[in-house]
Amino acid sequence: MKIVVLDGYTLNPGDISWEPFEKLGELVVYDYTAPSEVFERLDGVSVCLTNKTCFPKKVLEKLPDLRYIGCLSTGFNVVDIEYAHEHGIIVTNIPEYATFATAQMTIALILEIADKVGHHSDLVHDGVWTKNRDFCFWDGSLTELWGKTLGLFGFGKIASRVSKIASALGMRVLACRRSEVTDEMRKADPQVTFVDADTLWKESDILSFHCPLTAATTGLVNDEIIAKMKGGVVLINTSRGPVLDEASVARALTSGKIAALGADVVSVEPIRENNPLLSAPNTYLTPHIAWAPFETRKRLMGVASENLAAYLSGSPVNVVS
């Protein structure tokens, strides 16, 4: 059986072995695949793996032999799931593989905004400290996190992990989730106080987003919601870029209503030159790397190969179609 990986470079630029897939069939790996190349590369192929190569209906209906699409990610919006379901195409994803790394990035952004480590390191290397009269200097205000309130919008495994780290830093943690909060959840995360959305907006010094991208969360953080927040609030987004109305957030950063933004995701990636966040003050932007540590990608590779092995054995797991 032939297994085709359409865009393997991001997951594996050469530091991880494809061996788990090689054991399952004849493996062909392409670093990148342009939309015009999909049909030739998947001609007669029943199994493929994709990260960002898209499979809308107009593509899927021209690939009658395709029976399995393994998404090399948690998100699976690159595939028309409704069409896949109707035509018996199994689509799988990789749930929860990046829990630890994404929580780590969330805290890293919070700490960078609080302590401005990178900025001060740059100043030291630029010679500012060598010319300073005093034994220390700081450029801009620094923030102690102890006693600050962290609000988590969305509360799954990543947010739960973030809450434990934040609590260890002495922060008060609030969380809001759209689905019911069970007694088991309260017992598992006693450091968290669950509140409604309006309370979260009003009381949080730092707001961190950990929600899926849905119709309800697209453009969630707009002018109306920002007006409900504390003056000088800090926003952190490691979920999905379109959760923020970027024009609204940029205006609030300029006015000072939002003191700073730390984001690992934006609405269109790679980021476009006209993205308003690029010219807004106090923005800390990273290029969607929360998932990218070696250990995290190796875990992804392992789960993806297990997904395919389960499908081939007749008992598919992590099916989203």
Catalytic residues: 240, 269, 288
Closest CA to 114 of 171, 157, 153: 171
- Say if residues 49 and 300 touch (Cβ distance below 8 Å): no
Q: Please state whether 43 falls in left (phi above 0), alpha (psi between -120 and 50) or beta.
A: beta
φ/ψ of residue 142, rounded to 5: -110, 155
Give the span between the Cα atoms of 114 and 98, in whole angstroms: 24
Query: Is residue 300 classed exposed, middle or buried when 0-12, 13-18 and 19+ CB atoms within 10 A define those classes?
Result: buried
Say if residue 224 is exposed, middle or buried (CB neighbours under 10 Å; 0-12, 13-18, 19+).
exposed
Check if the beta carbon of residue 231 is closer than 8 Å to that of residue 257: yes
259 three-state secondary structure: strand
**What spatial distance separates the first Cα and last Cα of the chain, rounded to whole Å?**
22
Which among 191, 190, 188 is positioned nearest to 167, based on CA atoms? Answer: 191
DSSP 1: -
